[in-house]
């Protein structure tokens, strides 16, 4: 039973790692779409992103269930649910097997969060640029309305009419 629990946890962690790798690849595609200002590609990556996140959340739930089973099996009472406390209370071979996959997951998630921060910065800059562009266009339209499009402005400036409404 103990070996089965360890194998289940290891397998689940490997599946989570694969999902995080996929999420990282999507984040790279998102980064490229942001840099290229490709809104279609960005929308597509966001859809893929959401699907993978849902899968990761499901795996996290499974992992918590397996860890609960392990705690019950080994009668572990932990003050915190810290990995270091958890692994110390398990047989030595568990730590050897679990630590390597844990380190890989930590490294991958660190890279993901770094790239995600970069994507967030790019998105913020793009939104600022779009806001600035829209404000500039709106100000330009307002200025032109004052000078060109209002009826009073045309009559006051004595601008010639190309079409005369009067017959």
Question: pLDDT tens digits for 80-123?
Answer: 888 888 998 999 899 989 999 999 999 999 999 999 999 999 99
Collect all residues with Cβ–Cβ distance below 8 Å to 39 and sequence separation of at least 6.
Answer: 33
Q: Please state, in angstroms and as integers, the Cα–Cα distance from residue 98 to each residue in 75, 94, 134, 158, following that order.
A: 19, 6, 52, 84
Collect all residues with Cβ–Cβ distance below 8 Å to 64 and sequence separation of at least 6.
Answer: none
Structure-model confidence comparison of residues 1 and 39, the more confident one: 39
CA dist., res. 2 & res. 73, Å (int): 8
Is 161 inside any structural domain? no
Condensed to tens digits (0 to 9), the pLDDT of residues 138-166 reads 888 887 766 654 555 545 454 444 445 55
pLDDT reported for residue 162: 42
Is 39 inside any structural domain? yes
CA dist., res. 5 & res. 9, Å (int): 6
pLDDT reported for residue 78: 85
Q: Tokens representing 145?
A: 């309305």
Q: Which domain holds residue 110?
A: 1-142
CA dist., res. 88 & res. 98, Å (int): 12
pLDDT reported for residue 165: 56
Query: Residue 66 belongs to a domain with what CATH number?
Result: 1.20.58
Task: Establish how many alpha carbons lie within 13 A of residue 67's alpha carbon, considering only the half-sphere containing its beta carbon.
Answer: 18
Indicate the pLDDT class of residue 72, thresholds 50, 70 and 90. Answer: very high
Is 34 inside any structural domain? yes
Is 10 inside any structural domain? yes
Q: What is the pTM of this model?
A: 0.77
Q: What share of the chain is helix, strand, coil (3-state, %, to 5)?
A: 85, 0, 15
Is 157 inside any structural domain? no
Is 15 inside any structural domain? yes
Condensed to tens digits (0 to 9), the pLDDT of residues 5-59 reads 999 999 999 999 999 999 999 999 999 999 998 999 999 999 999 999 999 999 9
Q: Domain total for the chain?
A: 1
Is 104 inside any structural domain? yes
Give 28's DSSP letter.
H
pLDDT reported for residue 130: 86
């Amino acid at each position: 039973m103990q070996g089965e629990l360890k194998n289940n946890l290891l397998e689940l962690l490997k599946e989570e790692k694969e999902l995080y790798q996929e999420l990282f690849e999507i984040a790279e595609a998102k980064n490229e779409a942001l840099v290229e200002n490709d809104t279609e590609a960005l929308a597509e990556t966001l859809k893929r992103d959401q699907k993978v996140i849902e899968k990761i959340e499901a795996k996290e739930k499974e992992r918590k269930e397996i860890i609960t089973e392990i705690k019950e099996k080994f009668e572990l009472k932990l003050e915190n649910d810290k990995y270091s406390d958890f692994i110390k209370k398990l047989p030595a071979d568990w730590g050897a097997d679990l630590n390597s996959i844990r380190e890989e997951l930590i490294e991958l998630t660190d890279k993901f969060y770094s790239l995600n921060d970069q994507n967030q910065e790019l998105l913020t800059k793009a939104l600022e640029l779009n806001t600035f562009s829209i404000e500039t266009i709106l100000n330009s339209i307002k200025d032109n309305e004052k000078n060109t499009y209002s009826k009073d402005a045309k009559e006051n400036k004595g601008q010639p009419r190309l079409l005369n409404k009067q017959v």
